[in-house]
């Protein structure tokens, strides 16, 4: 872990968009004061908790982290964090993690993170409280988003997902990929063919 300023416009845009529009004024002219810490994860590592990211807003700068849960014998993937995604380590918080949720680092990954725990007198206190509230709401809203994706037409959704995430699709065993997309192995075979036809 190293400390360094990373005021890239992409990261600042992600942070701005995380805030409620009424709170975005808190971010005006303050971004230079944010302290980012860099976290690196090596490909192949698996994390069943990561307390270093507690009380933080964390964004993937590069790499891929897959999130799995235990239900029945199979590894059940729910989502994959890629560049630009906000990461929620609450899903693997050791006190709450009853489904053995794990992070699987599928590619060497770099995340940038800011600590939202600041003293009351800190000039960015209000901004950090706003970030913390949004993070708290967003982590469960994100799961609602994954649930919603299963209401979409499986054929259309699966082909689109495979096209947009061809590297992840190629890295997963077929059975686990079919399971992630909520389709049968035979459907996966034809959807893969369709998705990769123009690749």
| Positions that interact with other proteins (CB under 8 A) | 20-22, 69, 71-72, 74, 76, 78, 88, 90-91, 93, 96-99, 101, 126, 129-130, 132-134, 136-141, 143-144, 146-148, 150-153, 156, 179, 182
Rounded least distance, CB 147 to other proteins, Å:
5
Rounded least distance, CB 108 to other proteins, Å:
27
Rounded least distance, CB 115 to other proteins, Å:
16
**25 vs 146, beta carbon nearer other proteins:** 146
Distance CA 126, CA 121 (A): 10
- Quickly count: other Cβ atoms within 10 Å of residue 125's Cβ: 14
112 φ, ψ (degrees, to nearest 5): -110, 140
**40 vs 143, beta carbon nearer other proteins:** 143
Rounded least distance, CB 18 to other proteins, Å:
9
Distance CA 86, CA 135 (A): 9
**6 vs 188, beta carbon nearer other proteins:** 188
**61 vs 134, beta carbon nearer other proteins:** 134
């Amino acid at each position: 872990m190293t400390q360094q300023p990373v005021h890239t416009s992409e990261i600042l845009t992600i942070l701005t968009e995380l805030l409620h529009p009424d709170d975005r004024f808190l971010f005006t002219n303050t971004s230079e004061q944010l302290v980012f810490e860099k976290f690196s994860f090596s490909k192949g590592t698996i994390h069943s908790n990561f307390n270093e990211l507690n009380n933080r807003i964390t964004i993937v700068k590069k790499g891929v982290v897959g999130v799995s849960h235990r239900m029945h014998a199979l590894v059940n993937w729910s989502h994959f964090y890629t560049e630009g995604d906000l990461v929620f380590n609450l899903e693997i918080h050791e006190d709450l993690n009853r489904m053995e949720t794990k992070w699987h680092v599928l590619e060497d990954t770099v995340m940038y993170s800011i600590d939202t725990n600041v003293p009351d007198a800190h000039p960015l206190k209000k901004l950090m409280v706003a970030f913390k509230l949004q993070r708290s709401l967003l982590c469960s809203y994100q799961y609602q988003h994954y649930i919603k994706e299963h209401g979409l037409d499986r054929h259309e959704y699966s082909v689109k997902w495979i096209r947009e995430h061809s590297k992840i699709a190629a890295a997963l065993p077929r059975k686990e990929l079919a399971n992630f997309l909520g389709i049968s192995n035979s459907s996966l075979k034809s959807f893969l063919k369709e998705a990769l036809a123009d690749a």
